[in-house]
Structure 1
């Protein structure tokens, strides 16, 4: 009875999901501050340890031990999820959060494409149009000026593809896993990425440019006081945001709540303007709206298409 009551509070769910998205969009704005004096690998090493510490404190308080049902499924999911996050955070060092988030939020489109190619999903004209709409939106957001196209322009879209595979594996191989266990598995994989990166970069020893341009090319960098502060902001902010997201999915149906996660694109553009004075321009803003519209169409059509329930339910990068 209590769960049935909780699942019929759409306004409260919308408020929770919007709060979580706002928090994420704010804290990610300051990744460039960390990038200026630290490295991608150091960032993930330290933040993952922080998240584990906070999570273990919660486990002790809750009094329920962690439990993994399928190690194979968990490892497979964590590899692709962590790869997506590494690419996303790496992109934040050289492009606005709104652009990086737009690439990551192509995951519902990738889920649909992969479901058609690998699972034989049959889709109708609406979802085909949604994929096309999202693709045009990607072009508008990531490269509104053809003269600015470069090899790194579409890197965030690759993050969206990896995230889509992680989401498909969540449904296929991790249906009985707990959300906390999956979260910690993902952070463990990112910690391993950080460890390998620190070792490899340390051995190769490339000459890293100054500032955020050297974020990926630096090995271990002992954090400054300012970087320590923002690392704790990232860890604590992410934990609070995840709590709001989890609460939202307890208050209403996932297909309803997931639509509101696209607010991250708007929040990222807004806070990018407020904090850094970054303006995407009308073309970029229209592109964000097109990506969001494509994702919403996929989500709504998936709710009404029984064949899509197994593999192509639209999922967004923070669920």
Structure 2
């Protein structure tokens, strides 16, 4: 999880730096290029046979949704404080629970209902609709979280059929042209000084997912999930030190409310598993 925390933080900083020269579509295109190169090198060693799939249409649906999630996240990085981006992203478990109930017929248990209620409450505390003008970028991040949640549900379905490397391979192959086509409208190559940030975006995108997967394999979700929320205070400090962003206590308080809901749900699921 330490690797995941560092990866998400590095990806956020790289995205903010790249936004000075590139638009969001261009950042996502170069991210896919770097990620595809890395995955291809791994497949060259482990074997290309594992990319065979009978569910290409599901991969397509998953990655269109996942691309929407990434677009909202990187778009938000360019316009609103880093801490707000991360805090709004933490609504993801709410939408995942909703999609799981609709698409996977999973039951909405009382702990899950509490998680959803506290999640919405935390989101309202962060956005403060009616008190402050809500930035369009905040809505983009929120829409991105919904897209991410749907992509997670499709990933869960595909994970029973295809290997993680297969899923990651089609993620980069499908999303690369999706990012390239709109990027060509105002095409720009990153300057020499931006190349390290391009490399960092591509590497951390893969390392973050890998580290979280490994953490879930090594420890209970009740340990992993609360550690993931350490991203918020960490990125708040980074935003303050590097970009002079003010510390919004409403953002921290709202995220704490969402964390409480998620933690209640995770603990309930853990007790159910032990039974």
Indicate the TM-score class for this superposition, using the shorter chain for normalisation.
0.7 to 0.9
Choose which of 253, 256, 261 in structure 2 pairs with 1:294. Answer: 261
Structure 1: stretches of 5+ with no match in the other structure: 1-16, 203-218, 307-319
1:80–1:162 Cα contact (<8 Å) kept: yes
Structure ranking higher in helix proportion: 2
Cα distance, 1:249–1:68 mapped onto 2, change above 3 Å: farther
Q: Does 1:126 align with 2:111?
A: yes
State the alpha-carbon separation in 2 of the partners of residues 183 and 142 from structure 1.
33
Cα distance, 1:305–1:82 mapped onto 2, change above 3 Å: farther
State the alpha-carbon separation in 2 of the partners of residues 68 and 280 from structure 1.
48
Aligned-residue offset at 1:256: 4.5
Q: Which residue of 2 aligns with 1:35?
A: 19
State the alpha-carbon separation in 1 of the partners of residues 57 and 226 from structure 2.
30
Taking structure 2 as the reference length, the TM-score comes to 0.87
Q: Which residue of 2 aligns with 1:140?
A: 125
2:101–2:107 Cα contact (<8 Å) kept: yes
Q: Which residue of 2 aligns with 1:184?
A: 169
State the alpha-carbon separation in 1 of the partners of residues 138 and 19 from structure 2.
18
State the alpha-carbon separation in 1 of the partners of residues 222 and 57 from structure 2.
27
2:72–2:141 Cα contact (<8 Å) kept: yes
State the alpha-carbon separation in 2 of the partners of residues 124 and 161 from structure 1.
21
Aligned-residue offset at 1:173: 4.0
State the alpha-carbon separation in 1 of the partners of residues 247 and 98 from structure 2.
28
State the alpha-carbon separation in 1 of the partners of residues 208 and 21 from structure 2.
25
Q: Which residue of 2 aligns with 1:251?
A: 218
> How do residues 45-60 of structure 1 correspond to structure 2 at under 5 angstroms?
45-60=29-44
1:103–1:159 Cα contact (<8 Å) kept: no
2:31–2:198 Cα contact (<8 Å) kept: yes
Taking structure 1 as the reference length, the TM-score comes to 0.76
State the alpha-carbon separation in 1 of the partners of residues 60 and 195 from structure 2.
29
Cα distance, 1:271–1:45 mapped onto 2, change above 3 Å: same
2:25–2:179 Cα contact (<8 Å) kept: yes
Cα distance, 1:270–1:249 mapped onto 2, change above 3 Å: same
Cα distance, 1:294–1:68 mapped onto 2, change above 3 Å: farther
Q: Deviations over 1:188-230 (max 9, x none)?
A: 333122122124xx2xxxxxxxxxxxxxxxx211211122221
